Amino acid sequence: MTETPVSTAPSVCAPLPEPCGRVYRRDGRTVVALRDEIDIATAALIGPALDGATSQDTPQLVVDLTEVSFLDCSGLNLLCRARRRALDRDGRFWLVCGCPRILRLLRAGRLHDLFRPVATPDEAFRRAAAPDDAPRAAESAAATGSRPGTEVGPAHPPSALSRAPRPAGRGSGELSLARPRTRRT
């Protein structure tokens, strides 16, 4: 196991600012190890590093979230984009995450089966070495019922939207998937 810092890693274009994590190469793969909180403010700092890591031909990207304590939808968007870019370039993508809150978020967003996260970086490298773990864009698209690169998961069926509970009034605590009404002025 050899780690190469990003400054000497030839195929990684954009470094990651120190407070957000680090980028390094290990066993021929680029590892983006993120930390702390990933929200709309840090997404702008992390995005270029992930884009750089997926810009070469057949990128081999491991995104490590073991030190991440919070992830919002902008962080999910970054992960989806990085995965899509890697697969579109005939590369591979692995997600490392053991945080129960983030795993719950992945399940709620119907992304857990798409990312298939592992608990440790070593487990990701073991999975990467396995020949049967080479998901490609076409296989992902077949599994999700979409064209490659267009969606990250199946859409909600219309029947689920029509059966959504409607709130009795403001502050009722009920959740509605119905589109909110807009005010006309």
Which domains occur in the chain, in start order?
3-156 (3.30.750.24)
**Distance from C-alpha of 31 to C-alpha of 53, rounded to nearest angstrom:** 8
The first and second tokens of residue 156, run together, are 């909600």
Task: Give residue-wise pLDDT tens across range 144-170.
Answer: 444 444 444 433 334 343 344 444 544
Task: Give residue-wise pLDDT tens across range 15-64.
Answer: 677 778 899 999 889 999 999 999 999 999 999 999 999 998 999 999 99
Q: Please, what is the average pLDDT of the chain?
A: 76
Asked whether the whole model's pTM tops 0.85, one would answer no
pLDDT band at 143 (very low <50, low <70, confident <90, very high): very low
Q: Which residue has the tokens 């680090």?
A: 22
- The confidence score (pLDDT) of residue 139 equals 47
pLDDT band at 94 (very low <50, low <70, confident <90, very high): very high
- The confidence score (pLDDT) of residue 160 equals 41
State the amino acid at position 44 in one-letter form. Answer: A
State the amino acid at position 105 in one-letter form. Answer: L
